[in-house]
Amino acid sequence: MSVPVIILNISPAMCELVPLLHDRPIWILTAARHDEIDADHPLAAVLPRLDSLEEMSRVRIDRLADSAPLRIAEALLGESLAARRVAKFLAPTSGLPLTVAEGVNLLADEGTLTRLADGGWTQTSERRKTPLPQTLQEIVLRRVAALPTTSRRLLTLAAVIGERFDSELLRTADREHPSVIEAGLEILIERWFVRPILRSWVSHRDRDLVLWSGGARRGRFEFAQRAVRATLYHHIDPARRRNMHRRVAGALSHLHAEDLTPYAGELGQHFAHAGDWPQAAPYLKMAGDAAASAGDSELAARHYARTLQALQHLDKVNALELPELGALRREMEALLKGLAPRRARRR
């Protein structure tokens, strides 16, 4: 009997799909870096359920073999002198799969590799003037530098918004015309910086696919690689980054003015990263209250802990905007203490 195999990228839709199919005769393969699975990672919510399944197995993947760059180059170009040149260029990647992939993307971005109409590849430039950068971060920054100005600006703003972002939020924060946003996103998709994501495998899917096939470059997107977003984010000048977080918070407030509660956590985080603690604390508390009301003690605890951090910053700057500062701090401490037994039971 043949068994279907589904290979999935890490995404919220994947986290919905896996629990639905775990008892079916299907192999589901996905990959993630263990050191990247923090509280905000899409896998964080689903891993405890997956680990409880007998069918679940984890496989540690090591570095690629020394022969991998040549094999990858030959898969793209066939056995040829061009493939050997590309393999030599990729040799400094030290067998790190993501670095190899980004090295290939860099060759395509800079015109050394070009995709053919039949789906294959050809080398369009025999000799390169510059060698491959030594680190993944350097490769990513060189790829970003090669982007057109508008796409580079949008990608940088998207990195500030987060791992996943909405095109309407991007447009509002950038104060740009929708057609410019769509053209910029098209380039980012073609160069594999970002990819569109479906809201769900069980709802909205048909509508989203129809919109996309009709040429609409709008909706929800995510970075193709978390490491790409992290590299770009941490190389933004700190003062500019704070200002961008403030712009994103303002755009969120404008788009969802009728009901900010579902976006309180995002607003609180953006205001916190902007250093606007008087704005951050109330939104973080609002997010914690909403999570507690929904029965999500883990999320509530994270928001309340961040509220306490915001209050500590308010203390440091001697802010007077919250006259009930001490009472609010005591309330947060009591709420966190009250959530502790529920969190322990869930573990």
Same domain (yes/no): 185, 224: yes
User: What SS3 string covers 246-289?
Assistant: HHHHHHHHHHCCCCCHHHHHHHHHHHHHCCCHHHHHHHHHHHHH
pLDDT, residue 209, reads 52
Residue 163: C-alpha distances to residues 7, 151, 228 (Å): 20, 17, 10
Q: Which domain holds residue 296?
A: 238-346
Tokens representing residue 60 in the block:
């540690």
What CATH number is given to the structural domain containing 273?
A: 1.25.40
Identify whether 337 is part of a domain.
Answer: yes
**Which residue is associated with the tokens 């263990």?**
34
> Per-residue confidence of the chain (347 residues) as pLDDT tens digits?
555 655 555 555 555 666 666 666 777 677 777 766 776 666 676 677 667 766 677 777 788 888 888 898 888 888 888 888 888 888 888 888 888 899 999 989 988 888 888 878 888 866 566 777 878 999 999 999 999 999 999 999 999 999 889 999 999 999 988 889 989 999 998 899 998 876 544 444 455 555 555 555 678 898 988 889 999 999 999 999 999 999 999 999 999 999 999 999 999 999 999 999 889 988 998 998 888 888 777 788 888 888 888 888 776 655 444 555 556 666 666 666 666 555 445 55
Q: How far apart are CA 185 and CA 151, in angstroms?
A: 7
Nearest Cα neighbor of 171 from 159, 155, 186, 154 is 154
Identify whether 291 is part of a domain.
Answer: yes
Identify whether 174 is part of a domain.
Answer: yes
At 19, which helix (H) or strand (E)? helix 12-21
pLDDT, residue 325, reads 55
Identify whether 342 is part of a domain.
Answer: yes
For 303, phi and psi rounded to 5 degrees?
-65, -40
pTM confidence score: 0.78
What domain count does the chain have?
4
Identify whether 65 is part of a domain.
Answer: no
Identify whether 286 is part of a domain.
Answer: yes
In the chain, the N- to C-terminal Cα span, in Å, equals 38
pLDDT, residue 162, reads 93
Q: By the 8 A CB rule, do 323 and 335 touch?
A: no
Same domain (yes/no): 117, 156: no
Same domain (yes/no): 107, 181: no
Identify whether 125 is part of a domain.
Answer: yes
pLDDT, residue 248, reads 97
b (16+ CB within 10 A) / e for 136-155: bbebbbbbbeebeeebbebb
Q: Angle at which helices 264-273 and 277-293 pack, to 10 degrees? A: 150
Same domain (yes/no): 242, 230: no
